[in-house]
């Protein structure tokens, strides 16, 4: 039964396999995590370890092979993506593929608003405001995704996620195509949203240094498992797992 003490999100022992029989490959293995309202969880791990699959499962874009998903204590395992998109907005790693190439970015954002609130009366004002907050000229919203640069599409994709004012944002390497100043501006804005309305976030990144300043907790993933989970201080200064130590050595090495 749902209680007010329940975490905002609870992921219980989830697993995901692709393929059948002998060809089946388990890409997520017994992953559990909890996230309280207003918390930001960073997820770090090498390419292919299952970060994007995990976000797809949480947002019901793909079915689980086993395990349970709970939002505010309510079991939502197996629901349709449309029924949970009010709670979660995913900002995808591949921003251009996330937009329909046949419609303008503005139409795509309107679609998202219509789906979520049914109310599009002030949609254009909200879209333009959000696009400006991402440091872009609102006129760019009238272009098709292919007419924008990689960094512009990525910022439009963040704007589209935020314009619906979700409870929770699932961010999949959202700043990877941005220059340092655009990255700082967007992180600053997300930080402000956390302060103003307690926005909860999962923040997938390859940047351990960035996660250590931006996140409340960091989960380290390796080969489909969360192998370590702690505060940035615990992860950066007192890592328990050899793999985490290797990641930290790599950060120090490239500096
Ligand atoms: N639809 C699918 N069918 C089969 N295998 C898949 C599918 N989607 C993902 N995988 C596999 O699952 C594993 C995890 O993929 P995922 O995209 O989650 O990695 P990631 O940690 O996000 O990597 P990156 O940092 O490169 O984005 C990979 O081995 C990938 O090949
Ligand atoms: Mg990924």
Q: What separation in angstroms does the CA of 251 have from each of 25, 37, 206?
A: 30, 30, 10
**pLDDT category of residue 86 using cuts at 50, 70 and 90:** confident
- The tokens describing 70, both together, are 């709970």
**pLDDT category of residue 252 using cuts at 50, 70 and 90:** low
Task: Tell which CATH architecture fits domain 1-87+168-178+196-255.
Answer: 3-Layer(aba) Sandwich (3.40)
How many other CB atoms are there within 10 angstroms of residue 81's CB atom? 13
Domain limits, CATH 3.40.50.300, in the chain: 1-87+168-178+196-255
pLDDT in tens, 195-204: 888 899 999 9
How many other CB atoms are there within 10 angstroms of residue 24's CB atom? 10
16 lines ligand 1 (CB under 6 A): no
Provide the pLDDT for residue 118: 65
- Which alpha helices (DSSP H) does the chain contain, by range? 51-58, 81-84, 95-98, 105-117, 123-133, 150-163, 180-197, 208-214, 232-237, 242-254
pLDDT in tens, 111-169: 888 877 766 678 899 999 999 999 999 999 999 999 999 889 999 999 999 998 888 99
**CA dihedral (149, 52, 73, 191) positive or negative:** negative
Provide the pLDDT for residue 164: 87
Strand bridging mode 168-172 / 88-91: parallel
Query: Closest-lying ligand to the alpha carbon of 27?
Result: 1
Q: Can you tell me the distance from the alpha carbon of 248 to that of 86, in angstroms, rounded to the nearest whole number?
A: 36
Q: pTM of the prediction? A: 0.92
Among protein residues, the one with the nearest Cα to ligand 1's atom 4 is: 18
20 lines ligand 1 (CB under 6 A): no
Give the CB-side neighbour count of residue 3, counting CA atoms within 13 A. 2
49 lines ligand 1 (CB under 6 A): yes
Q: Can you tell me the distance from the alpha carbon of 172 to that of 203, in angstroms, rounded to the nearest whole number?
A: 6
Q: Can you tell me the distance from the alpha carbon of 40 to that of 71, in angstroms, rounded to the nearest whole number?
A: 16
């Amino acid at each position: 039964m749902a209680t007010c003490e329940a975490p905002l999100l609870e992921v219980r022992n989830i697993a995901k396999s692709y393929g059948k029989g002998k060809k089946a490959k388990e890409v997520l293995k017994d992953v559990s995590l909890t996230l309280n309202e207003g918390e930001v969880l960073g997820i770090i791990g090498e390419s292919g370890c299952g970060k994007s699959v995990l976000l797809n499962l949480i947002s019901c874009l793909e079915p689980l092979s086993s395990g349970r998903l709970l939002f505010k204590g309510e079991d939502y395992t197996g629901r349709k993506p449309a029924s949970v998109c009010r709670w979660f907005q995913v900002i995808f790693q591949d921003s251009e593929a996330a937009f329909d190439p046949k419609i303008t970015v503005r139409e795509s954002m309107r679609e998202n608003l219509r789906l979520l609130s049914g109310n599009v009366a002030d949609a254009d004002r909200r879209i333009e405001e959000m696009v400006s907050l991402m440091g872009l000229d609102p006129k760019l919203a009238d272009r098709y995704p292919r007419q924008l640069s990689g960094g512009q599409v990525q910022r439009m994709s963040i704007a589209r996620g935020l314009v619906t004012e979700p409870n929770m944002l699932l961010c999949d390497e959202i700043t990877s195509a941005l220059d340092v100043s655009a990255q700082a501006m967007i992180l600053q804005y997300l930080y402000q949203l956390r302060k103003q309305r307690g926005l909860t976030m999962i923040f997938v990144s390859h940047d351990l240094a960035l996660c250590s300043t931006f996140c409340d907790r960091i989960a380290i993933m390796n080969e489909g498992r969360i192998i370590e989970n702690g505060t940035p201080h615990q992860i950066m200064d007192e890592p328990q797992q050899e793999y985490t130590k290797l990641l930290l050595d790599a950060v120090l090495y490239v500096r």
